[in-house]
A and B are shown apart, each in its own frame.
Chain A
Amino acid sequence: MKKLLLLVLLVSTACMTYAGGYRVSVQGQRAIAMGHTGVAVVNSAELVFFNPAGLVYLENKLNVSAGASGIFTDVLYQNSDLGVSSQTDSSVGTPLNLYGSYQVNDWLALGLGVYTPYGSEVTWPTDWAGSHLVNNIELAAIYIQPVVSVKLSDHFSIGGGPIYVTGSVNFNRNLNRTLTDLEGNRSNITVDASGVNNWGWSLGAMFSPTENFRVGFNYRSEIILEAEDGDATFANFPNSPAVPANETTTFTAELPLPAELTIGLSYQYGEKWTFAFDYNRQFWDVYESLDLQFGNGATSLNPRNYKNSSAYRFGLEYKATDKIALRAGYYRDESPVQPGYFAPETPRNDSDGFTGGLSFAINSKLAIDASFFYLRFEEVNASYDFYTENGQSVPFEGTYKSSAFAPGLGLTYKL
């Protein structure tokens, strides 16, 4: 049985796929396996992220959950009119999460979480057809959050805490479609910033009208990462006073990590079955434009005009034995990208997520959690219409097809 699991994971990792956008929903191995539901599921310390209000209902004094997923990513692009096609480099992202909670007394629990809800890693072939929009991007944001969970009654609890975010970004693209130096090397700009920090918060509530039925609510605030004095490197510009010099200058930019509201429920049927449903509302409308101001006076304005989007998540758990719990889930993730704003740095359209996983209890304290998800995107004809030349919009059009596969492993410890 364990061999089978291993086989499944091995076979899975051989398969290269995509994870797009920059909201990456991999904040807990048990939750992932259930369609990334969890706002009303009282199961493990993963609640620090999903709903701190639920921590106080955990049965054990000390709960720790740690996990990591390997995200295998692939995006295909083609334009049949022009005979051009490209494929992102199948790089592997490894989001981590670590949660712990401690039951202080009957009505109070404290917790701490480290997780990475936003991130993106997309690497197109250098100088590909859309290189004036992006060659490669690597975006990471680590959330560190202490929480407090308070039981107000047997049926109602609240929880929350401040969030400290530290982010980094590395982004390269060509200046435009044609500028080169004398040797034909494309003029390009790399921006790099790390240690970009800011604060936010989250607040949750949980209502448990009966022992087997819970309703949860969680809100995580928006956090704007403001990069100031990051490095911007101008490379392969021709030696001419008409264009910027090849040098490293500074840049400032803002990248929003949008707020997210989740409401959901869980229902336990008998001893073995648990059903969960989460609804996420992601407030992407804060992401209006990605504007860069460079230290040498150059600017880069990139309208994004995202809209708020929703995700609908369904999860199921089956406690097969005392030692084994099996999980499966499905979710529908709507894209925040509006028509005409489909930029290949976040090539994200609506997707269907299929998830599964299991926990195996080694003993009464320690369990191994395994999960996977497969994210299937529709093939989509899309364009980004806000790149301009000579004041004229030059759409970047084509067909995209992407998918993501992420196997993950974790440990749950309770005392």
Chain B
Amino acid sequence: MIKKNIKYFALLALGLVACEPEFDNPIDESGVYASGEADFSTYVALGNSLTAGYADGALYITGQENSYPNILAQQFEFAGGGEFTQPLMDDNTGGLLLGNGNALPNRFVLAFDAQGNPSPARYTGATPTTDITNRLTGSFNNLGAPGAKSFHLVAEGYGNVAAAQAGLANPYYARFASADNASILGDALAQSPTFFSLWIGNNDILSYATSGGVGVNQLGNLNPATYGGNDITDPNVFANVYNTIVTSLVASGAKGVVLSLPDVTSIPYFTTVPFAPLSPLNPSFGPQIPTLNATYAGLNQAFAFLGVPERSIQFSTTGASAVVIKDESLADISAQLTQVLTPTFGAAQAAIFGAQYGQARQANANDLLVLPSSSVIGQLNTDRLQELIGFGLTQEQAGQLAVNGVTFPLEDQYVLTAAEQAEVSAARTAFNASIRGIAEANGLAFYDAAADLAVVASTGLPFDGGVITSQFVSGGGFSLDGVHPTPRGHAVVANGIIKAIENTYGASLPMVNPGNYGTITLNNDVN
């Protein structure tokens, strides 16, 4: 009787030993997610700074860890994805030592001044430790190289260290290129990828735009070797090289996803500084308005006399005024202006006015002021000051004529005019048509990143903790350089790519929650 009972007791206990809790459908078991027709075992990511995880004006470890390819790779792991290696920087400071005494600057952080006003500033709490001459060994799944344009991906020697030091190759790629004469595409193919992502072409228009259109639109020039750094790539050059990249990868048996190029007007670099930023309430500007208007009245008469009254410059005492800019697309009337002004101001001063306002006008709603203009508008332009003193003006006279955007027209690099925007837009439209066409021709997944970014920029994209917008600093989508996404922005991109992959390849993958990804970094170590 006793023994019998003990036996039951033991059986009962042993039955309960299987007591470690287990889900009915554990997500880490096979069958919950699927790769569909895709094979994620060797995923390579090709692209530029966006792919590398560059943010806040620099490349640093946490930015790389939150890059959309790295986020994707973590989700791919649920459906057969393999290891994903990145050429991680050595620190979170962000600068890059070029090994010749020069360095790329540290990242931006958001600092607060004594009054509690936030503004982005370069982090100075540590010096950079990443040196491009310490080339990393091994192959890397994330081949994103900040600054790369479409044709750079096939360029051999793009990672040559000596050339990078000379400014002729890419210092980021130089860190991890397989050899001095390697190409990014070659390094990708060498890994026998089963899956790839390609987001390239942004810099083929963006460098022109961010430089305020100081470069050249190379439409019709089919030799990229002759292009300058801030030029717009010819659409045929783009289409050819894009096709080469995709067909090479597809020929190796890989499937993949490609991304469209967003509109420059959807990024805060171009939308943060208003065209009319001059407030009469500004103590260093407001009191001067009557004097300025009196001075400009003489110039405006000359504009009217010369048949260009639309170039008149006047500041409002009640509302914000537009900055004065130099528009290179305007007919240069320096000589005529000098002639007309000479009787009033004398030959010497008239020549200065003529040269200064020969292509000047006030900005309008169609002009985009780039982010760096915010730190120069209303400030004394010391170069121009010295120049004017050299022309024989007194310090005071020269100072009055050398205020950026008020008396001295904002230079070309600070303004993307409507005409320049049109060039960028035309190129982008052509590039995107090529991307979509090449994706379709090769049966690839296509993610219209441009469409999602347009939503972010217009209505904003809701997430569980609010709305992601392209508002500078506070919007959550863009880092402090105004161009590159935050980790949260990368999460949105990763989700878009996942949806595209699911649609094209019948895969089933877990999404990520953008709310779990951070935005900008606060820090007051900025000197």
Using a CB–CB distance below 8 Å, which chain A residues touch chain B? 1, 4-5, 7-8, 11-12, 14-18, 74-76, 78, 80-85, 129, 177-184, 238-243, 318, 320-321, 324, 326, 354, 356, 358, 372, 374, 376-377, 379, 389-390, 392, 394-395, 399, 401-403, 405
* 10 A-B interface contacts by CB (under 8 A): A1-B3, A18-B21, A82-B511, A83-B27, A85-B26, A238-B521, A242-B522, A318-B5, A321-B2, A405-B16
B1 within 8 A of A: yes
Question: Is there an interface contact between B466 and A85, defined as CB atoms closer than 8 Å?
Answer: no
A85 touches which of B3, B28, B509 (Cβ 8 Å): B28
B443 within 8 A of A: no
Question: Is there an interface contact between A239 and B21, defined as CB atoms closer than 8 Å?
Answer: no
Bound: A386/B250 CA distance, A: 49
B112 within 8 A of A: yes
Question: Is there an interface contact between A182 and B92, defined as CB atoms closer than 8 Å?
Answer: yes
Of residues 1 through 43 on chain B, the ones whose CB sits less than 8 Å from some CB of chain A are: 1-3, 5-6, 9-10, 12-14, 16-28, 32-33
| Chain B residue contacts of A377, Cβ below 8 A | 21
| Chain B residue contacts of A74, Cβ below 8 A | 20-21
| Chain B residue contacts of A358, Cβ below 8 A | 9
Bound: A204/B220 CA distance, A: 97
Say whether, besides A17-B21, A182-B92, A182-B123, A356 and B109 are in contact (CB < 8 Å): no
Bound: A95/B14 CA distance, A: 24
B525 within 8 A of A: yes
| Chain B residue contacts of A7, Cβ below 8 A | 10
Question: Is there an interface contact between A8 and B19, defined as CB atoms closer than 8 Å?
Answer: no
Sample of 20 more A-B contacts, CB < 8 Å, known A78-B26, A326-B9, A401-B21 = A4-B6, A4-B10, A15-B18, A75-B21, A76-B22, A81-B511, A82-B512, A84-B510, A178-B518, A180-B521, A182-B123, A183-B92, A239-B522, A241-B112, A320-B2, A326-B5, A356-B13, A390-B465, A403-B20, A405-B16
| Chain A residue contacts of B65, Cβ below 8 A | 184
Bound: A242/B13 CA distance, A: 56
Bound: A80/B465 CA distance, A: 20
B116 within 8 A of A: yes
Q: Which 3 A-B pairs have the closest CB atoms?
A: A83-B510, A240-B522, A389-B465
Question: Is there an interface contact between B118 and A372, defined as CB atoms closer than 8 Å?
Answer: no
Nearest to B74 among chain A residues (CB) is: A83
Question: Is there an interface contact between B465 and A394, defined as CB atoms closer than 8 Å?
Answer: yes
Say whether, besides A78-B26, A80-B510, A372-B13, A182 and B465 are in contact (CB < 8 Å): no
Bound: A17/B65 CA distance, A: 34
Say whether, besides A1-B3, A83-B27, A241-B524, A178 and B20 are in contact (CB < 8 Å): no
Bound: A11/B17 CA distance, A: 7
B466 touches which of A75, A179, A389 (Cβ 8 Å): A389
| Chain B residue contacts of A4, Cβ below 8 A | 6, 10
B384: shortest Cβ distance to chain A, in Å? 36
Of residues 108 through 164 on chain B, the ones whose CB sits less than 8 Å from some CB of chain A are: 109-112, 116, 118, 123, 125
Bound: A342/B118 CA distance, A: 37
Bound: A165/B19 CA distance, A: 33
B23 touches which of A76, A182, A321, A389 (Cβ 8 Å): A76
Bound: A261/B200 CA distance, A: 69
A205: shortest Cβ distance to chain B, in Å? 34
B464 within 8 A of A: yes
B81: shortest Cβ distance to chain A, in Å? 11
Nearest to A240 among chain B residues (CB) is: B522
B519 within 8 A of A: yes
A80 touches which of B2, B5, B32, B62 (Cβ 8 Å): B32
B515 within 8 A of A: yes
Nearest to A176 among chain B residues (CB) is: B465
B386 within 8 A of A: no
Bound: A188/B448 CA distance, A: 38
Question: Is there an interface contact between B17 and A129, defined as CB atoms closer than 8 Å?
Answer: no
Question: Is there an interface contact between A179 and B518, defined as CB atoms closer than 8 Å?
Answer: yes
B326: shortest Cβ distance to chain A, in Å? 38
B78 within 8 A of A: yes
Q: Is the interface of B mostly helix, strand, loop or mixed?
A: loop
Nearest to B16 among chain A residues (CB) is: A374
Bound: A238/B109 CA distance, A: 10
A245: shortest Cβ distance to chain B, in Å? 11
| Chain B residue contacts of A183, Cβ below 8 A | 62, 92
B516 within 8 A of A: yes
Bound: A180/B522 CA distance, A: 9
| Chain B residue contacts of A78, Cβ below 8 A | 23, 26-27
Bound: A379/B22 CA distance, A: 9
Question: Is there an interface contact between A184 and B510, defined as CB atoms closer than 8 Å?
Answer: no
Bound: A242/B112 CA distance, A: 8
From A16, A75, A240, residue with most partner B Cβ within 10 Å = A240
B494: shortest Cβ distance to chain A, in Å? 12
Bound: A7/B513 CA distance, A: 47
B517 within 8 A of A: yes
B516 touches which of A129, A238, A376 (Cβ 8 Å): A129
B467: shortest Cβ distance to chain A, in Å? 9
Question: Is there an interface contact between A83 and B20, defined as CB atoms closer than 8 Å?
Answer: no
B211 within 8 A of A: no
B438: shortest Cβ distance to chain A, in Å? 31
Bound: A179/B518 CA distance, A: 7
Bound: A377/B16 CA distance, A: 13
From A81, A241, A318, residue with most partner B Cβ within 10 Å = A241
Nearest to A8 among chain B residues (CB) is: B13
Question: Is there an interface contact between A177 and B515, defined as CB atoms closer than 8 Å?
Answer: yes
| Chain A residue contacts of B32, Cβ below 8 A | 80
| Chain A residue contacts of B349, Cβ below 8 A | none
B236 within 8 A of A: no
Nearest to A401 among chain B residues (CB) is: B21
| Chain B residue contacts of A75, Cβ below 8 A | 21
Nearest to A187 among chain B residues (CB) is: B522
A20: shortest Cβ distance to chain B, in Å? 11
| Chain B residue contacts of A354, Cβ below 8 A | 12, 16
Nearest to A396 among chain B residues (CB) is: B464
| Chain A residue contacts of B111, Cβ below 8 A | 240
B6: shortest Cβ distance to chain A, in Å? 6
A144: shortest Cβ distance to chain B, in Å? 33
| Chain B residue contacts of A372, Cβ below 8 A | 13, 16
| Chain A residue contacts of B217, Cβ below 8 A | none
A358: shortest Cβ distance to chain B, in Å? 7
Interface string of B404-427 (1 = CB under 8 A from A): 000000000000000000000000
| Chain A residue contacts of B434, Cβ below 8 A | none
B523 touches which of A80, A177, A178, A238 (Cβ 8 Å): A238
B425: shortest Cβ distance to chain A, in Å? 34
Nearest to A389 among chain B residues (CB) is: B465
From B2, B27, B33, residue with most partner A Cβ within 10 Å = B27
Bound: A5/B125 CA distance, A: 63
Question: Is there an interface contact between A17 and B518, defined as CB atoms closer than 8 Å?
Answer: no
Of residues 65 through 110 on chain B, the ones whose CB sits less than 8 Å from some CB of chain A are: 65, 75, 78, 92, 109-110
Question: Is there an interface contact between B10 and A8, defined as CB atoms closer than 8 Å?
Answer: yes
Bound: A379/B20 CA distance, A: 13
Question: Is there an interface contact between B522 and A243, defined as CB atoms closer than 8 Å?
Answer: yes
A156: shortest Cβ distance to chain B, in Å? 36
Say whether, besides A76-B21, A243-B522, A394 and B9 are in contact (CB < 8 Å): no
Nearest to B61 among chain A residues (CB) is: A184
A224: shortest Cβ distance to chain B, in Å? 33
Question: Is there an interface contact between B19 and A403, defined as CB atoms closer than 8 Å?
Answer: yes
Question: Is there an interface contact between B109 and A182, defined as CB atoms closer than 8 Å?
Answer: yes
| Chain B residue contacts of A129, Cβ below 8 A | 516
Interface string of B185-224 (1 = CB under 8 A from A): 0000000000000000000000000000000000000000
| Chain A residue contacts of B524, Cβ below 8 A | 239-241
B515 touches which of A18, A81, A356, A389 (Cβ 8 Å): A389
Bound: A177/B516 CA distance, A: 6
Say whether, besides A81-B510, A238-B523, A184 and B19 are in contact (CB < 8 Å): no
From A83, A178, A240, residue with most partner B Cβ within 10 Å = A83
A328: shortest Cβ distance to chain B, in Å? 8
Say whether, besides A8-B9, A83-B27, A183-B92, A178 and B21 are in contact (CB < 8 Å): no
